[in-house]
Structure 1
Amino acid sequence: MKVTRIAYSARLNPGKYAALSEQARRLGRVRGEVWQRYGSINGVGAGLRDRQVRNQWLTDGTHLQFGVSANAWKETVRDAMADIGANLAAAKVGVRRAIDRRTNDPAERKRMFAALRTNQWADDPFLSRQMRTHWKRGRNRTHDQIVVRADKYNAVVDRGRRLWLAIPGLEPRKMVTIPLSTTVAPTGTLRLILRGGRVAVHYQIDPATMRSSQRPCGDRTIGVDKGYTEALTDSDGALHGCALGALLTSESDRLKERNRRRAKLRSIANTAAARGDHAKAHRITANNLGTVKRDRQASRHRAAVRTEVFTAVHRVVDKAATIVAEDLTRTFAGRKALGRNVNRRLAAWTKGVTAEALKNVSERRGSVLVHVNAAYTSQACHRCGRLGRRSGDRLHCTSCGVVCQADVNAAINILQRAGDPDIALHTPHHKVKQILQDRTDRHRTRLPVQDSSPATVGRRANYPNRSAMSIDWEAGSRQ
């Protein structure tokens, strides 16, 4: 695993930025050509590799139309083919869920998974339909990036201790030097992103060299629930990242007010242009409707959110060798209609950042991350298993009468879900609800387990419905 670091340019010459922008624009045409030709079943879906594409372009002369150096367009082809492959892999996640819903036969599942893994799904009618549903043909929208190979750039420090990065330009044997705002020279393959007159240099480092990666992890198994007001709530009842909700809410309200003012100014500019006062319209657009300040504020907000989330995850890993978390890659649409302000704030919920932080930090520090099915973990009582009634941050169980904090209850359910033999990761939510209701009905009427097949009995023997740690937690809570 590698960790990405970013170095920014400092007081870059406008002429150099214009030259880099032109190079990035031409390389954007290379990306567009790759997506147009190979972003389908006959391209990456058929197992085509970037080296085969490069050889084909050298043979038919396609590379001559772009006007960039050989290394530049070859690295761009490799990067674009990797993007198409990632797009294909993301589509296969949805197809795997469809396979889980379609059949319970292990042999049939194994056959379908093997066909999907080896890209032989075109011959299977079901897999072919599912891939056409989940794999949407994409297009290139990236025209501001330059990929530079590790042996094609130089980094030197001048007498003033300023680091200069020299990369190949459009002219042969002529380098473009970029002053960086750091003294640490980047290593490996570089990705240059040009935005707002500034160059961001992305490079990867070994996470073992980071100080945070050398912190030892804990020795317990902890369930965590991802939230809005706080980043994580663990099964011990501890809250982590409590400033996340305030960050998201304040930014959402600020964007609402700012966009309201910008819309008013845009209306004034359009009205002025309609009556022929183009000078006034130009002044408003140039001085009040720019994007440099807006993008800078958005970047600062994203950095603050990531800092809060990663700090929260580090605190969880400090006491956990195994982290059990819900899988939120699939969206769940609620039936209750919410207000516009609530919908706007929830739209900024950074569950993707939290998932990335859990995966990143757990891998670097040596802990294990286990994903479980998230269905009804926030609505079921962790003691009796019946569906309760949630009011704000409290869960009221109408069966056993317990009232508990909703996020803590969800974290305990997530911890118990890791040892559940009946609820798999991709079990549909309506089946999860039926399983929970059947269990509570059997417990209330004291009926034996109905499914007594050898396979189920063996699973229940190896994976009890409630883990020993959750039972110990309940015993301690009763005391």
Structure 2
Amino acid sequence: MSTVIKNIKQYSLPLSEDAIKDLIYLATEYRNFKNYLYSRFSGIKSIHLLKNPRKNVRDKWIKSGERKKFKLPARYWKIALDEVFSDIRGNWTSTKKKIKYAITRNDNLTREDIHYIRYILSSDELYYKTLNQIEFDIPDKFKEIKLNFKYLNNLIRRYTRKYKNKIPYTKKNNIFSVDTGLYRYENGNIKITTLNKGKRVSIPLKDSNKYKTTLKIKIVDDRIEVHVPLKISPKDLNGDIVVGIDKGINHIIATSTENLYGGRLNEYLTDETERLNYINSNRNRFYAMYKTALENNDVKKAENILNNNLGKKKYNHRKNRNDEKMKSYINHSINEFILKEKPKEIVMEDLTFANWNSKFPKNIKRKLSRWTKGYIRERIEYKCELYNIKYTYINPAYTSKVCSICSSFGKRNGASFICSNCGETHADTNAAKNILSRKDDKEISLYTKYTKVKMILESRISNHNS
């Protein structure tokens, strides 16, 4: 039976300044090493190393002695190496997905052209040679087909330059991972190996649970959180309906069954956005005063402003508290939706290549630039895996702009959708119904251009009226 990873947390009691200092030092070196790996292996010359980083990188470093120049102990840098290569593989998967999307929308490519590009993308070795302009034998299946290989290989390189993600970089110096050889539980404490040889930091925990897996340690103020990934078996709701959902700002989820969940999302986003704007405007004012004091050589005043008005501890604490509150509300709303509707399949928009902000008025685009939209998607996918629910993505073009009853184009006015034929209905549930019907649409695939989608919809309206 397949399993799902569920993350739980352990919380510590307050720690001493020395303990926090040792952990921050470790987390900083861990971050620096990861950033070094990101910069070294995120380029096109390292693609062929991604499949087996332990053999291609780790073992070679150990054999050559290169590992000796790292400040991190071996167990730490090996964990960091695995994490970094996992991230880099994910970035390349994202890049390939965007290229596949682009070639399906390129009217100048034949089916054979698209097949060739997809084949190259599926092989790390061929993709590596193509990007680095290294000659290779044309695969047998394409030798009998007259293709312009030079043009197609150049196109792959051009698309890669266009869609390749930026080199990852993290500024966070409060997170690191430990495997089972780097910690042990003892008398209600977890003892973690630090960079001080032979020394472990003893951290008192609020519970007495013990785990044996790779843990993620997060330092929050004068405490730590222990993030524990546990493998669990998925639950089965025995659902029997297919539900279309629209993810919005007024509600987290609107369904094709005309139900709404998470109606306070906009309130949470507004309150937090206004709070941060107020705080940041004040911080900007104090920062200007701080710079002026330095320019006037008034070091004492500058230090007072820095220590009393520009500290990050309280700022980050309040921001994290509000983020956790919002996450809790999002999870509660998604759980409520799943347990009430009991779907066997959820159909939703694939907004990977679309600008979600374009769905909403300008005054709330700023709110959606936060982490919220990605978090909602990630949590819905996770809950689907947890409850053994199938999820399907569809082309989002015009799902919020046509009537779910007669398929005519209409107008959105706030929470209402107005159709000249059918009158007024709720905008989000109307979109959810269109999303559900798009699932079985034979003409509109996930990759159909939005301009072609509009032509198809207009043609249907014309045929219906005639």
Return the alpha-carbon distance in structure 2 between the equivalents of residues 259 and 405 of structure 1. Answer: 36
Residue 262 of structure 2 is matched in structure 1 by 241
Deviation at 1:359, TM superposition (A): 0.4
Q: Deviations over 1:347-391 (max 9, x none)?
A: 347221211111011111111111111111100111221211221
Partner of 1:309: 330
Residue of structure 1 in register with 2:149 after alignment: none
Within the candidate set 177, 189, 201, 2:214 is matched to 189
Q: Which amino acid aligns with 1:369?
A: Y
Contact 1:248/1:348 (<8 A) preserved: no
Aligned position for 2:86: 82
1:22 Cα offset (Å): 2.3
Is 2:38–2:169's contact at 8 Å kept on the other side of the alignment? yes
Q: 1:282 Cα deviation (Å)?
A: 1.6
Q: 1:110: how far off?
A: 3.8
- Relative distance call for 1:224 and 1:338 in structure 2 (3 A) is closer
> Are 1:154 and 2:159 an aligned pair?
no
1:263-297 C-alpha deviation (Å, 9 max, x unpaired): 22223333333333322222222112211111112
Identify the match of residue 434 of structure 1 among 442, 449, 455. 455
Quick one: which amino acid aligns to residue 235 of structure 1?
S
Structure-2 residue corresponding to 1:93: 97
Quote the residue 2:144 is aligned against: none
Deviating more after overlay: 143-152 vs 58-67: 143-152
Instruction: Please tell me the residue identity of whatever aligns with 2:185.
Output: A
Q: Which of 374, 380, 389 is the aligned partner of 2:402?
A: 380
**1:168 has 2:193 as partner:** yes
User: Is the 8 Å Cα contact of residues 379 and 387 (structure 1) preserved in structure 2?
Assistant: yes
Look up the match of 1:327: 350
Describe the shift of the 1:327–1:382 C-alpha distance in structure 2 as closer, same or farther (beyond 3 A).
same
Counterpart position of 1:112: 117
**Which of 257, 265, 282 does residue 303 from structure 2 map onto?**
282
Q: Distance in 2 between matches of 1:402 and 1:357?
A: 35
How has the CA–CA distance of structure 1 residues 370 and 312 changed in structure 2, closer, same or farther, with 3 Å as cutoff?
A: same
Does 2:369 correspond to 1:347? yes
**In the alignment, does 2:169 pair up with 1:140?**
yes
Q: CA deviation at 1:396?
A: 1.6
TM-score norm. by structure 2 comes to 0.86
Matched with 1:273 is 294
**What TM-score comes out, normalization by structure 1 length?**
0.84
Moved more, 329-338 or 372-381: 329-338
* Cα distance per residue 1:230-289 (max 9 Å; x no partner): 100101111101111111111111112222222222233333333333222222221122
> How far, CA to CA, are the matches of 1:69 and 1:349 in structure 2?
34
CA deviation string 1:27-58 (max 9, x = no partner): 33432332233221221355452212112212
1:129 aligned partner: 158
**What is the distance in 2 between the residues matched to 1:362 and 1:336?**
25
Question: How far apart in 1 are the matches of 2:238 and 2:297?
Answer: 67
Could you list the per-position Cα deviations for residues 91-147 of structure 1 after superposition, in whole angstroms to 9, with x for gaps in the alignment?
122112112212685554443323212222353322222122211451533544332
Aligned to 1:49: 52
Partner AA of 1:201 in structure 2: V
| Counterpart position of 1:17 | 20
Q: Would the aligned equivalents of 1:252 and 1:348 in 2 still touch at CA under 8 Å?
A: no
- Is the CA contact (8 Å cut-off) linking 2:24 and 2:219 kept in structure 1? yes
Q: Which runs of 5+ in 1 are unaligned?
A: 446-479
Q: CA deviation at 1:402?
A: 2.3
Hey, what does 2:30 align to over in structure 1?
A: 27
Cα deviation per residue 1:312-363 (whole Å; 9 max; x = unaligned)? 2222222211111111222327779965x44433434722121111101111
- 3-state SS of 2:89 partner: helix
SS at match of 2:455: helix
The alignment covers a number of residue pairs equal to 434
SS of 2:105's partner is: helix
SS, match of residue 184 in structure 1: coil
Distance 1:349 1:34, change over 3 A: closer
280-289 vs 120-129, which deviates more?
Answer: 120-129
Check whether the contact 1:187–1:205 (CA below 8 A) recurs between aligned residues: no
> Structure 1: how far apart are the matches of 2:389 and 2:275?
38
Q: Does 1:404 align with 2:404?
A: no
Cα separation, 2, equivalents of 1:352 and 1:431: 27
Q: Which amino acid aligns with 1:371?
A: Y
SS in 1 for 2:44: coil
Conserved? CA contact 2:349–2:393, under 8 Å: yes
Q: Please say if residues 45 and 88 of structure 1, whose CA atoms lie closer than 8 Å, have aligned partners that are also in contact.
A: no
Distance 1:166 1:292, change over 3 A: same
Q: Hey, what's the Cα distance between the residues in 2 that align with 1:184 and 1:174?
A: 23
What corresponds to 1:455 in structure 2? none
Identify unmatched segments of 5+ residues in structure 2.
131-152
Change (3 A) 1:139 1:243: closer
- State the alpha-carbon separation in 2 of the partners of residues 53 and 139 from structure 1: 19
Highest relative contact order (Cα 8 Å, sep 6+), 1 or 2?
2
CA contact (8 A) 2:357 2:365 kept: no
Confirm or deny that 1:73 pairs with 2:80. Answer: no
- SS of the aligned residue for 1:390 comes to strand
One-letter amino acid of the structure 1 residue matched with residue 454 of structure 2: K
State which drifts further: 115-124 or 86-95: 115-124
* Alpha-carbon distance between aligned partners in 2 of 1:350 and 1:333, rounded to the nearest angstrom: 11
- Going from structure 1 to structure 2, the CA distance change for 1:204 and 1:12 (only over 3 Å counts) comes to same
How large is the Cα RMSD of the aligned pairs?
2.4
